[in-house]
Chain A
Amino acid sequence: MEMTGAQILTEALLREGVEMVFGYAGATICPIADALLAAPGLGYTLVRTEQNAGHMASGYARVTGKTGVCIVTSGPGATNLITGIATAYMDSIPLVAVTGQVPSIQLGRDIFQEVDITGAVLPFTKHSYLVKDAAQLPRILKEAFHIASTGRPGPVLIDIPIDVQDQLVQDVEFPEAVQIRGYNPSVRGNDKQIINVAAAISSAQRPVICAGGGVFLARAEEELRDFAARTAIPVVTTMMGLSLFPTEHPLNMGMIGTHGNAAANKALAKSDLLIMIGTRVADRAIFSPDEIQKRMPNIHIDVDPAEIGKNMQSTIPLVGSAKIILQQLMERTLHADCGEWLSQLQALRREELDRTYPEQEGFVFPGRLLKLLGERLREDAAICVDVGQNQIWSCKHLRLKGGRFLTSGGLGTMGYAIPASIGVKTAQRDRQVVAVCGDGSFQMSMNELAAIRARGLDNKILLLRNGVLGLVHQSQTRPPYHGPFGVHLEGDPDFAAIAAAYGIPSLRLNREADVESTLDAFLAEPGPCLLIAEVDPAWRTTD
């Protein structure tokens, strides 16, 4: 069988089960475009800037568990994609990013739209390839999907010069398996350490489970819920672990960290055994690891051995897949006698959940709005949240019944929510999908309203409008700084008119009394809808 490099690429994507490609056209990927034209089995979503191809592929990957794929052109196309790749890397999202490249014989001569993209993304890709021979493409693609999706997942970049895309290869064979001698991630936990973990749990009086995004990545949600239920150990999550448990689940104490809940932070600070599962001890989650490490022993379960001991020394390290390790643990008899500890925390948690909210004429308080939104969402809804005050309010106040909470936790990339929610919707048309943005982050991705319209999607977007980059504003109005600078969004457009220009209806909300009926109307809208909620710029995330 004779195939071009570009045809090998599309055939390999189909063999990997890829159904959707997110991309943007360009001169150096014309051969790939031609191959896509002849591969109707591969869906294609045209983004409006390449960064969002990465975010859409990320949203797609996170809800399907499959590897997200994006294809962009060389030079500026590739550099625009960098933020998407770095965002995925920080949150360990499996992506295969394909970039076009100038002809291989001209590499290094700074010709039109040439950039060393494999060099540029080196620090934040799991692996990368610069393809010099199309005959290697079947192997490279097989490896790329394997590396992206196994162990600790992450983005893999494949840079393909245009002449390699056009190169004819005879007798193409697609490998069934990969053989990479330097890559063999651990899956099963060490049996001796499993026994040690079980023993530590049995002797703890105030244990706490701290679960992170790694639990989703390992698809260990069920195992974690079983494990917590069986041991009745209270659970806190990181931001990336939100929605592992419903907000009101009796064992869920909320989110830890700088912007976390009081009950969750108390659980962490006062516990006598910290059981970390799929979390990397990030600074926003565990602010002072040295202090925590001194106070209590910790069990650290992670698929990436380098995370253990990186930010905090571990008492009982356990390397492997969270799913398999939790199964191994549940094969043992687990005793945890911490009923009193749990009821103390539950009382504090209840107080937090039953709190009241500030009111201000002409505005709606985001906390109450998000609580009521969460209560109205379907159980399996996906909610994609941007970065800034909107993110912190969502983490604190959304009443999740389950479903999936998605945000850019590690890199904190503004503009993530809308493209990620499009990625989710593209994969799962029947799923209820809502994006939450501030007016800063909305304007970073509002061009993707075109993708919503072009693909006939029914995404809902909640825009918390306060005319300010609120979270930075909060920092700038605290010592040692002397006041806000460069955070007032003067020149904000009429957002309803922006939506209308894309044929998307909108609703406005500026009275607490209207919140429930407006949310009902918003969610009942059959197509896409933008809800603009007026938020007092004086409100802080701590209110």
Chain B
Amino acid sequence: MKQTISVLVENQAGVLNRITSLFSRRAFNIDSLAVGVTDDPSLSRITIIVDSGNSVVEQVEKQLNKLVEVIKVRRLDESALVGRELMIIKVSANKNNREHIMTICNICGAKAADISPTSMTLEISDTPERVRTFEDMMRPFNILEVARTGVIALQKGSGKI
């Protein structure tokens, strides 16, 4: 089962290395990991998606907590979180199919970020499922390149970790 772990860490050089090293050393599999600074410049938030059973995820949380530079670790309730992923996707496009592509973009809430005579670069920020749907819809147009950020997430409501 996919589970989302939100980790607050010291915003210092080497912290991400400690975290990824921990995952490989303890043989934990991660689906995605996204990191960025928070409103407090001394803190970064790392969002980790783990696809494992409860006992493994519990070990992940405990091992993360042992790292000195990790300040808080919280497993987010899947039904009570806002999770988004950003994808930039480049597809082959020309005057014959551009409109068709734009129709799909409108349906999926994606935007054109760049255009050339033979290609379009599109961006979408949404839940991982909807991002995947959009990617599937683009497949017939010959995908040239894809970049995605991995999910970032916060819990719903006014609470904070």
Are A306 and B63 within 8 A (Cβ)?
yes
Is the C-beta of A118 less than 8 angstroms from some C-beta in chain B? yes
| A306-B66, A310-B62 known, 16 other contacts, Cβ within 8 Å | A119-B17, A122-B17, A126-B68, A127-B68, A130-B14, A147-B68, A180-B68, A182-B67, A182-B68, A182-B69, A305-B62, A306-B59, A309-B55, A309-B58, A310-B59, A313-B55
Which B1-45 residues have a C-beta within 8 angstroms of A?
9-10, 14, 17-18, 21-22, 25
Is the C-beta of A181 less than 8 angstroms from some C-beta in chain B? yes
Question: What are the interface flags for A399-437 relative to B under an 8 Å C-beta threshold, 1 for contact and 0 otherwise?
Answer: 000000000000000000000000000000000000000
Complex: A309 Cα to B58 Cα, angstroms: 9
Known A123-B25, A313-B55; judge A305-B18 contact (CB<8 A). no
A: number of interface residues (CB 8 Å):
18
Question: A interface vs B, CB < 8 Å?
Answer: 118-119, 122-123, 126-127, 130, 147, 180-183, 304-306, 309-310, 313
Is the C-beta of B71 less than 8 angstroms from some C-beta in chain A? yes
Closest to A307 in B: B62
Are B65 and A123 within 8 A (Cβ)?
no
Whole-angstrom distance between the Cβ of A293 and the nearest chain B Cβ: 12
Whole-angstrom distance between the Cβ of A404 and the nearest chain B Cβ: 28
Known A118-B14, A182-B70; judge A123-B21 contact (CB<8 A). yes
Are B71 and A182 within 8 A (Cβ)?
yes
Chain B contacts for A304, CB-based, 8 A: 66
Complex: A180 Cα to B22 Cα, angstroms: 20
Closest to A123 in B: B25
Whole-angstrom distance between the Cβ of A122 and the nearest chain B Cβ: 5
* Dominant secondary structure at the B interface: helix
Complex: A304 Cα to B71 Cα, angstroms: 16
Known A181-B71, A182-B71, A313-B55; judge A306-B14 contact (CB<8 A). no
> With contacts defined as CB atoms under 8 Å apart, how many contacts are there between chain A and chain B in the complex?
37
Which of A118, A119, A305 has most B Cβ within 10 Å? A305
Complex: A400 Cα to B11 Cα, angstroms: 51
Whole-angstrom distance between the Cβ of B26 and the nearest chain A Cβ: 9
Q: CB < 8 Å: which of B17, B65, B68 contacts A306?
A: B65
Complex: A181 Cα to B63 Cα, angstroms: 17
Chain B contacts for A313, CB-based, 8 A: 55
Whole-angstrom distance between the Cβ of A375 and the nearest chain B Cβ: 42
28 residue pairs of the A-B complex, CB under 8 angstroms, read: A118-B14, A119-B17, A122-B18, A122-B21, A123-B22, A123-B25, A130-B14, A147-B68, A181-B71, A182-B10, A182-B67, A182-B68, A182-B69, A182-B70, A182-B71, A305-B62, A305-B65, A306-B59, A306-B62, A306-B63, A306-B65, A306-B66, A309-B55, A309-B58, A309-B59, A309-B62, A310-B59, A313-B55
Complex: A304 Cα to B65 Cα, angstroms: 10
Whole-angstrom distance between the Cβ of B75 and the nearest chain A Cβ: 15
Which B34-90 residues have a C-beta within 8 angstroms of A?
55, 58-59, 62-63, 65-71
Chain A contacts for B68, CB-based, 8 A: 126-127, 147, 180, 182-183
Closest to B13 in A: A130
Complex: A118 Cα to B17 Cα, angstroms: 11
Complex: A119 Cα to B58 Cα, angstroms: 26
Chain A contacts for B18, CB-based, 8 A: 122
Closest to A304 in B: B66
Whole-angstrom distance between the Cβ of A127 and the nearest chain B Cβ: 5
Chain A contacts for B70, CB-based, 8 A: 182
Complex: A180 Cα to B55 Cα, angstroms: 28
Chain A contacts for B59, CB-based, 8 A: 306, 309-310
Chain B contacts for A119, CB-based, 8 A: 17
Whole-angstrom distance between the Cβ of A150 and the nearest chain B Cβ: 11
Complex: A306 Cα to B9 Cα, angstroms: 19
Closest to B71 in A: A182
- A-B pairs, top 4 by smallest CB distance, nearest first, are A306-B62, A182-B71, A123-B25, A127-B68
Complex: A119 Cα to B24 Cα, angstroms: 14
Whole-angstrom distance between the Cβ of B23 and the nearest chain A Cβ: 11
Chain A contacts for B62, CB-based, 8 A: 305-306, 309-310
Complex: A119 Cα to B13 Cα, angstroms: 12
Chain A contacts for B55, CB-based, 8 A: 309, 313
Chain A contacts for B14, CB-based, 8 A: 118, 130
Chain A contacts for B71, CB-based, 8 A: 181-182
Closest to A154 in B: B66
Closest to B64 in A: A306
Complex: A147 Cα to B67 Cα, angstroms: 11
Closest to A130 in B: B14
Closest to B10 in A: A182
Complex: A305 Cα to B63 Cα, angstroms: 9
Whole-angstrom distance between the Cβ of A220 and the nearest chain B Cβ: 21
Complex: A118 Cα to B68 Cα, angstroms: 15
Complex: A122 Cα to B10 Cα, angstroms: 17
